[in-house]
Amino acid sequence: MVSSPAVLFGKGGTSVVQFWVGMRRLTAHWKPLILFEILWKLVTLLVIAPACAGLIQLAIQLAKLKYLTTSNLLQFLRSPWTILLLAVLLLLAALYTLFEIAAVCTCFRQSRFQKVRTTLGRMVRSGLQSVLHFFRGGGPFLVLHLLVLIPLMQFSATSGIFTAMGIPDFLAYYMTKKEFLLPIYVAAIILCCLLSVRWVFSSVLFTQNQCSYRSARATSVQLVRGRFWQTFFSVLVWNCCYFAALLVFLCMITVVVLMVIRATGSNDLIMSQAMRILKLLIQIVLWSFSFFATPICMAHLTALLEKRCVQMPEVVLPEPVPLSRSAKPFRRSTAVLTACCFTVAALGLNLSYVYSVFTGKANFRLALFQNPTVMAHRGLSADAPENTLYAFSDAISVGADFIELDVQQTRDGVLVVMHDSNLKRTTGVNKDIWDVDYADIQNLDAGSWFDPAYANARIPTLEETLQFVDKRAKLNIEIKPTKHGSDTLEQDVAELITRYQYTDACYVTSFSYGSLKKVKEANPEIRTGYLMSVAYGQFYSLKYADAFSLNKVFVTSQVVNAAHQQGKQIFAWTVNGMSEVRSLCNLHVDSIITDDPVMVQNVISRDSTGETLRSVLDYFIN
């Protein structure tokens, strides 16, 4: 027998505005909702997101690529394996969204004759039932609804898997680069808006009634008929309230950061750190709001659906899809078996991905949206004497990702951090490094040339530097072999890096490709970079170089893309202009070597934060 809407949903919606009904439902079931969302987000972070990243890695490898950039995007999308795996990802994303919607709607499902206590187990069971029901009564239109229409109509529903992986931003970026697609994009948005209003109740009906999605759509269209704009503005006002609350929190943290900046001054260092903190706080707030996005969205939809059903009792709710003769009722054992299979498969992908990351075998990178790292050239050499512990300490304090330093070898084989082969410029002693023992130079003044306040600065050894930095920053260790030095320079550097467990936190670079080969022979796990003052020809496939550190003049989009295709990284040196930083960021270089890391961080942070936010900050600070 088909249930009447009024019987199923009751008449409470006629006396109370559905917004307050939705809020009451949220507060009435806050305990199971919080518990479920915490566990679901943990599963997402620890299992689902890494598993999907593993699938993307697999797609890139099967497309015979190592980097994914704008230059090879079409090649990636044309691969049959890419199409197949993207289809799998879309299906998984739809099932992910459906599971969460069904579990959350369980809390809001009401019956006049029976009040059932909502438990976490009941929510999970409902989610699994809907996922299994997808293969009986779902279809491509349900995938469209879950992945496009719900995010479009319910802007607060941003907790889906696509948001975590950034795919919408990826597509948006590509659209902006292909202007002829803009009219198609706008037309698709308008069409989706119309469909999203007409089908607004279909996901709730599909999960709660276990009906076919086709009948759920038809019922939703009937419930919206004659009340299109009323439904549209109801959803719009609900989302405006959501965003108003979000905006209040964002304004609060922005004001606090501005007050701190104004109280402490507005120099470049403070601005750079403030922008980093502000970005972090904004991310925390956005994550917190997206945490409850699905419950907020579904609370409103179920309240609105209840009101529509009471207003339109003539609309008959769809019947459940009958089980086929071969189908068996859903049992706990089925749920356990399904969950176990899913967990094993997801954990397998997850562990393989994590293993590849930690062992350095994850040789792909989405270079399109990653900011370059910042390397402090010889430490913070603009504020302290170069290649001293003072300069390294200052570089760490301003948050440089890498410290670039130079290593040479004394006559007695000690590895010291120094750029010039002659000691005169920084110590006043006119001797070459290979003509002195470490005991002869360990007490030399290496700081007064820069400022008398640094008279106690000394030439550090590489071992002292590794101990001092202690992984608070990564290192770019440039080795400088000479014909006068020992043949053990590369071996000694590799041994120190291995001893202090810096293998995964440094690059060894050199103008000598032979030295890089020796480093790799000593420890193949150490990453190397080939320094080049002039860059021409097909150097990208050099076996013993994991990166190329190029004079900024020779860094072009062709060079960067060709290197990325070979799985190599590009460092640009020495970059001290804001316009140069922006240009190199647009070229997607992997790292920028600079004398002014604060300025580079400032440019990167401001550009990635957004022009509007940057303008607001500049207005209030200045």
What residues are annotated to the active site? 377, 419
DSSP H or E run through 455: none
DSSP H or E run through 373: strand 373-377
DSSP H or E run through 272: helix 268-291
Q: What is the DSSP string of 206-270?
A: HHHH---HHHHHHHHHHHHTT-HHHHHHHHHHHHHHHHHHHHHHHHHHHHHHHHHHHHH---HHH
Q: What is the DSSP string of 131-173?
A: HHHHHHH--HHHHHIIIIIHHHH-TT---SHHHHHTHHHHHHH
Residue 530 one-letter amino acid: Y
Q: What is the dihedral of CA 518, 521, 526, 527, to 10 degrees?
A: 60
Beta bridge partners of 528: 508
CA-closest candidate to residue 324, choices 138, 141, 133: 133
Task: Work out the angle between the directed axes of helices 80-108 and 202-209 (0-180°, nearest 10).
Answer: 70
DSSP H or E run through 474: strand 474-479
Residue 523 neighbours by CB under 8 Å, 6+ apart = 494, 497, 498, 503
Q: Are 130 and 99 in contact (CB under 8 A)?
A: yes
- Match 């013993």 to its residue by tokens: 544
Q: Are 481 and 489 in contact (CB under 8 A)?
A: yes
d(CA 374, CA 362): 22
Q: Are 489 and 409 in contact (CB under 8 A)?
A: yes
d(CA 178, CA 485): 55
281: its two tokens:
């706080």
451: its two tokens:
């400022």
